[in-house]
Amino acid sequence: MHAPSDLITTAATLTDGSNLKDWILLVAGNLLIAAIAVRAVRHFLKEDWGGMITMCVAVVFVGGFVWFPDQTKALFGLVWDKVREA
C-alpha cells in the first residue's frame, strides 16, 4: 500500500502534456461531433439535403482529427505537399 505522499508526488509529476492534449482533443472533439450531428438531424427534418450532406462531411473530418489525429495530420500533410508541388 502506498503512502498518501507517494500518491500526491506521483500525481503531481510534470509531464509533457500529451495525455492532457489527447484528453482535451477527445472530449472537445466528441462534443463537436455531437453538435454537428444535431445540426445534421435538423437539416434532415427540414429536408435541406445539401445542409445535411455538408454536416455529414464535417463529421467525417472532425472524427478523423478526434479519433486518428496523427494519421489525419499526415494525410493532410501529404495533400498539402501535392498542392504545393503543383
Q: Cα 53 to chain center, whole Å? A: 20
By CB neighbour count within 10 A (0-12 exposed, 13-18 middle, 19+ buried), where does 33 fall? middle
By CB neighbour count within 10 A (0-12 exposed, 13-18 middle, 19+ buried), where does 55 fall? buried
| pTM for this prediction | 0.59
pLDDT in tens, the chain (86 residues): 555 556 555 555 556 677 777 788 788 888 988 898 899 899 999 999 998 899 888 888 888 888 888 899 999 999 999 999 87
What confidence score (pLDDT) does residue 77 get?
93
What confidence score (pLDDT) does residue 83 get?
94
Taking a C-beta distance cutoff of 8 angstroms, is the pair 25, 66 a contact? yes
